[in-house]
Structure 1
Amino acid sequence: MLKFLFLILLLGLVFFLLGVKHSRPAQPRKEAPEPKPTAAPQDMVSCAQCGLHLPAEEALPGRGGLFCSALHRQAYEAEHGGGA
């Protein structure tokens, strides 16, 4: 009985190893991808109304400074009489 179980385990191991070997095709090694170039640093400014820092390209100019949104520009100009 013990020999029979040993034989079944041995055959199962052989079939398992053969199945694993055939199921995984050899794949060529891939080289590591080149790192993407990083974007150049941007100048940062702060909103005159709330102080939020944002890239200078995205800031909205207004009377009294630069703003993060049109709403803050309007609020600042209303509070400060429309001028700087």
Structure 2
Amino acid sequence: MKYLLVLAVVIVAFYVWRNNRLGDQSEAARKAPPQPGRPKVPTVMVACRQCGTHLPENEAVQGRQGVYCSAEHRRLLED
């Protein structure tokens, strides 16, 4: 009877270990790298006329003489 209990514990432990191991492999398969899609378009960078700081074009402040990193720098050069 004692040997049957030990055998049952070993079988249950083996079953749990095997399922955890297989679960890790399937989880790794689910985390496969994404399929290549459209390449990302690089952001155009511009330099501030006042300080020379480079920043994305969509964040730049447009002025009469060029682009600036802030309204303060635009005011300093254009006034």
TM-score normalised by length of structure 1: 0.53
Q: Which runs of 5+ in 1 are unaligned?
A: none
CA distance in 2, matches of 1:72, 1:50: 8
Identity of counterpart residues, as a percentage? 34
Number of aligned positions between the proteins: 71
Task: Using the TM superposition, give the Cα deviation of residue 66 of structure 1 relative to its aligned residue in structure 2, in angstroms.
Answer: 0.9
Q: How does 1:54-65 map to 2 (within 5 A)?
A: 54-65=55-66
Q: Indicate the larger mover: 49-58 or 15-24.
A: 15-24
Task: Using the TM superposition, give the Cα deviation of residue 74 of structure 1 relative to its aligned residue in structure 2, in angstroms.
Answer: 1.5
1:72 matched to 2:62: no
1:17 matched to 2:14: yes
Distance 1:41 1:15, change over 3 A: closer
Structure exhibiting the larger radius of gyration computed from Cα positions: 1
* Structure 1 or 2: more helix by fraction: 2
CA distance in 1, matches of 2:33, 2:17: 27
Q: Which runs of 5+ in 2 are unaligned?
A: none
